[in-house]
Amino acid sequence: MNSALAGIREIRDHLLKVDVDLNALPSLQPDAIAAAVMRCDPDPEWRERILRGMTLVAMFDGSPSPEALALLEQTATDFQVVSLHLCFDMTAAI
């Protein structure tokens, strides 16, 4: 997961020009993220986009671990995303 965090940092620094210690941020559970996203915009498209992004990050180091897949499954459930198989089809290609 170290290369995933490094990739996130590089994208963040390039796009936002903000230096934030990712390890200092609180860990969010999928249900808390889902509630926050749904408060901002109830359109399921945003939740699907976030889940796809999470899937890509999980694949930065190769095939996602069982823990990462379980987190993606839980997030899909909390996000009420029914098209989860589309995200996991991407992992099958690796």
The answer to whether residue 46 sits within a structural domain is yes
For the ranges 29-33, 36-40, 67-71, 80-84, the lowest mean pLDDT is seen at: 80-84
Query: Per-residue pLDDT for 3 more than 60?
Result: yes
Structural domain harbouring 40 = 27-92
- Report pLDDT digits (tens) over 34-79: 999 999 998 989 899 999 999 988 888 788 889 989 999 999 999 9
* pLDDT for position 85: 56
Query: Per-residue pLDDT for 20 more than 60?
Result: yes
The answer to whether residue 9 sits within a structural domain is no
- The domain tally of the chain equals 1
The answer to whether residue 12 sits within a structural domain is no
The answer to whether residue 41 sits within a structural domain is yes
Q: Which long-range contacts (CB under 8 A, 24 or more apart) does 78-82 make?
A: 78/30, 78/31, 78/33, 78/34, 79/30, 79/33, 79/34, 79/37, 79/44, 79/47, 79/48, 79/50, 79/51, 80/34, 80/44, 80/47, 81/44, 81/47, 81/48, 81/51
Percent of the chain with pLDDT over 90: 34
